[in-house]
Amino acid sequence: MDLIEIAHQLVAPSKGILAADESLPTIKKRFDKIGIKSTPVTRHSWRELLFSTREIEKYISGVILFEETLQDKSLVDLLLNKNIIVGIKVDAGKKSMPTSKNEVITEGLNDLKERLPKYKKLGAQFTKWRAVYTIAEGLPSHEAIYENANLLGRFAILSQEAGMVPIVEPEVLMDGSHDISTCAKVTERVLKVVFEELGNYKVNLKGMLLKPNMVLPGEDSAEKASPQKIAKETARVMSATVPKEVSGLVFLSGGQSADEATKHLSAINALGGTPPWELSFSFGRALQSTAMKIWKGDPKNLKFAQEEFLKRCRLNSEARFKR
């Protein structure tokens, strides 16, 4: 398959992407909440529970993995046997910017060109790189917006040159007390610069996907926006910034609850009209968290946790078809 075919398959009707690429510190935090230790065995057990769930292939087109999981052939084979496309998170996390201590840039570009063929050999057909932007007084800075966009552009072209579809993830964080209009302005600024850089690096927009945040008030904001308001603001910002050539938008869930993420995805798809891109999802916590609480590391809970996980996949699949 070429890049455009892979991109189209990832946003196929009724399907979305499972983000199961939690780094070791992140999955430790999730496991701490349910009272189990994060070890290679428990991480394998959890991901095996997800990937072996019957019929997820009806709702899930691709799964983003962490490097440890990609190297576990038994887990990769579970996905490939269901014709689910395998992807890999390729960034190496965040580091503080020398010029702005309250902001971060993403690491991992130095050896990316060497790593990509190894990932492809292990079965990965797409990649993901996340940049994060904080809203606060005077933030995000001009430097943070441009440096992260430049890294996203370089990541995307390196991925395409290696024959892999890049998922470009510029996430404006929910942290803070800002209102929805501030989030809209910042997201618009960020996306404009991201697409400038993708253009500068001659990235094939048809052979990539964008993983944007929804436009939301900050989690500590006094403003409570309705799903319809969130959908309208999100659609307006995307229409103003995302070229029609992009194959699809796979929204991230960020700090939203499972129910909120699904409601908002549904509202975005219920707006009507004919957007030029597929409007899908690439959720992590919003697909996994409720099932993880049921599982709690106990094999006796496996069947019930899988039922809950399948339900979350189905509900988000249905949310794509509210037009």
Model's pTM, two decimal places?
0.98
Provide the domain count of the chain: 1
| 87 pLDDT tier (thresholds 50, 70, 90) | very high
Q: What share of the chain has pLDDT > 90, as a percent?
A: 97
What mean pLDDT is predicted for residues 292-320? 98
What CA–CA distances, in Å, run from 188 to 115, 264, 288?
32, 19, 29
Q: Are strands 94-97 and 16-20 parallel, antiparallel or unpaired?
A: unpaired
Rounded to 5 degrees, what are φ and ψ at 256? -75, 150
**What 3-state DSSP class applies to 46?**
helix
Rounded to an integer, what distance in angstroms lies between the CA atom of residue 82 and that of residue 233? 36
Q: For the segment 123-178, what is each residue's pLDDT rounded down to a tens digit?
A: 999 999 999 999 999 999 999 999 999 999 999 999 999 999 999 999 999 999 99
Mean pLDDT value across the chain: 97
Rounded to an integer, what distance in angstroms lies between the CA atom of residue 291 and that of residue 100? 38
CATH of the domain at 50: 3.20.20.70
Q: For the segment 240-284, what is each residue's pLDDT rounded down to a tens digit?
A: 999 999 999 999 999 999 999 999 999 999 998 899 999 999 999
What mean pLDDT is predicted for residues 116-121? 99
CB-neighbour burial class of residue 143 (10 A; exposed 0-12, middle 13-18, buried 19+): middle
- Please give the helix or strand (H or E) that residue 229 lies within, else none: helix 227-241
| 323 pLDDT tier (thresholds 50, 70, 90) | very low
CB contact set of 202 (below 8 Å; sequence gap of 6+): 157
What mean pLDDT is predicted for residues 304-312? 99
Instruction: Please say if the pLDDT value at position 179 is more than 70.
Output: yes
Which is nearest to 56 in space by CA: 27, 14, 87? 14
Q: For the segment 201-233, what is each residue's pLDDT rounded down to a tens digit?
A: 999 999 999 999 999 999 999 999 999 999 999
Q: What domain range is 76 assigned to?
A: 3-319
Q: Any idea which residues carry the catalytic annotation? A: 169, 211
Rounded to an integer, what distance in angstroms lies between the CA atom of residue 127 and that of residue 111? 15
| 101 pLDDT tier (thresholds 50, 70, 90) | confident
